[in-house]
Chains A and B, each alone.
Chain A
Amino acid sequence: MTASSITPFRQAVRRDLLLAARHKTEVITALFFFVIVVNLLPLGIGPDPELLRKIAPGALWIGALLATLLGLQRLFAPDHQDGTLEQMALSPQPFTLLVAGKILAHWLVAGLPVVLIAPLLGLQFDLSGRSLWILVLSLLLGTPILSLIGAVGAALTLGVRGSGVLLSLLILPLYIPALIFGAGAVESDLAGLGAEGHLSLLGALLLVCAVFAPWVTTVALRVALE
């Protein structure tokens, strides 16, 4: 990639990060949502450490799924409302790169904090040291998938009636493979089977999504902007 083609990408990332930094509460709210959802589960299920260790991977992963959804609605909507998105589509820079930059910024704002705080929550669920590492690794590979697939849904539901609920209906079924492999990695490690297989599949899924999702998102955005 030449320097000229990387610049719009970097600038899109920088712009969205700057916007997020100016609205810190949104980022922090999503993170606290994740923490609260995950913490509600032991309260609903009971404090038995044996049981908690068993449900920990699934609980944390579902929390991450929901926390990602929360931010996705705002991925394109504000830019669409003030016309920025249209200017991006019309600009001489490749629209796909700008969209990819926005997706990366979304992950840095919504996904990465979840990954970083996950070990702390894992401790609450009585996970051991190695499982915690695998949990972080699976979330590190998996949360970008959530942002990438979610961007397609966000673009499809842009400016549509009841887009928030609709977005979850469209996207959550498509998250299932990431959920299965991500939570499965930690579970199979707990069962002593080794997590490599699950993590490899998660990585493969990430690569496929990284190649196709920005492109599909761009197509969907152009449909929405027509």
Chain B
Amino acid sequence: MSRSLINWFKFASPATFYPLAGRVIPFFAAAAVLLLGAGLWTGLAVAPTDAQQGEGYRIIFVHVPASWMSMFIYCVMAFWAALGLAFNTRLSGMMMSALAPTGAMFAFLSLWTGSFWGKPMWGAWWVWDARLTSQLILFFLYLGFIALQAAIDDPRRADKAGAILALVGVVNIPIIYFSVQWWNTLHQGASVSMTKAPSMAHVMLLGMLLMAFGFWAYTITMALMRVRCIILERELTSEWVKRNAME
């Protein structure tokens, strides 16, 4: 029993995680470059022009995976938050704060590309559609999380307060989503439908999946790079960092 526990928690210590992260970053970075390259090439060059939407639809190769990532990263942050509060591990809080900026970036990217897509398709930069609105609120939640962590000087307190906020946020996301959906249907009927054409060409799906996996690899790379910086910042006085910096 003790053996398996040791294996589980071995990399929960910043001192052992730091070199591990350093070793795996190049692989994820290479995967990100390859997947994003292949995904963009598939999406922009190989995939056929959409019958109804023309060339403008190609934005979805960035837009949809970015939206997926922005929601997924918040869930991952909530996972680290729960882990950090339950086991009081330092690394969980660091992972959480390392993920937040990337999540906010994807939420913003999703909104931005969404409005670029909406202008030619719907004729408006912004529509009070349920998905758009809840994505905007998700972006606000990210900003609130980052602002809270930035405002607290003591890193342990920042981690715990951020963890509580992330968990409260993750409970609220479904409530917000459904409330916005009902609000929207009550207000203005289905003037705009975001549902895709029933049969999506396989090439389009492939391009989207490649982009999604590319974003995953990118997120992991960025989070690990950022967490390495956070570890160095926080453990500046510890022995192993000094040894490491000497090398």
Contact = CB atoms under 8 A, between A and B. Distances in A.
Contacts of B153: 161
Judged by DSSP, the binding face of A is helix
A204 to B, nearest CB: 10
B131 to A, nearest CB: 14
Question: Chain A interface residue count: which class?
Answer: 20 to 34
A223 B161 contact: yes
B157 A188 contact: no
B201 interface: no
A36 interface: no
Interface of A: 152, 156-157, 160-163, 166, 169-170, 172-174, 176-177, 180-181, 184, 187-188, 193, 201, 205, 216, 219-220, 223-224, 226
B182 interface: yes
Contacts of B172: 174, 177
Given A166-B151, A188-B186, A223-B157, A156 B165 contact: yes
A177 B137 CA distance: 11
Judged by DSSP, the binding face of B is helix
Interface string B193-215: 00000000000000000000000
Q: What are the 6 A-B residue pairs with the smallest beta carbon separation, nearest first? A: A177-B179, A223-B160, A173-B140, A170-B144, A180-B183, A180-B179
Contacts of A169: 140, 143-144, 147
Interface string B141-185: 101100110011100110011001100110010011001101100
**Residue of A169, A184, A188 with most partner-chain B CB within 10 A:** A169
A137 B212 CA distance: 46
Interface of B: 137, 140-141, 143-144, 147-148, 151-153, 156-157, 160-161, 164-165, 168-169, 172, 175-176, 179-180, 182-183, 186
Contact of A205 (B140, B151, B175): B175
Contacts of A177: 172, 175-176, 179
A223 B164 contact: yes
21 contacts: A152-B168, A161-B153, A166-B144, A169-B147, A176-B176, A176-B179, A176-B180, A177-B175, A180-B182, A180-B183, A181-B179, A184-B182, A184-B186, A201-B179, A219-B164, A220-B161, A220-B164, A223-B160, A223-B161, A223-B164, A226-B157
B135 to A, nearest CB: 12
Contacts of A224: 157, 161
Given A169-B144, A177-B175, A162 B164 contact: no
Contacts of B176: 173-174, 176-177
B198 to A, nearest CB: 31
B148 A157 contact: yes
A111 to B, nearest CB: 20
B179 A173 contact: no
Contacts of B169: 174
Contacts of A205: 175
Contacts of B140: 169, 172-173
A173 B137 contact: yes
B168 A216 contact: yes
Contacts of A180: 179-180, 182-183
A173 B137 CA distance: 6
A216 B164 contact: yes
A177 B172 CA distance: 9
Nearest to A213: B168
Contacts of A201: 179
Contacts of A160: 148, 151-152
**Residue of A152, A163, A176, A181 with most partner-chain B CB within 10 A:** A176
Contacts of B164: 152, 156, 216, 219-220, 223
A167 B166 CA distance: 15
A61 to B, nearest CB: 12
B44 to A, nearest CB: 35
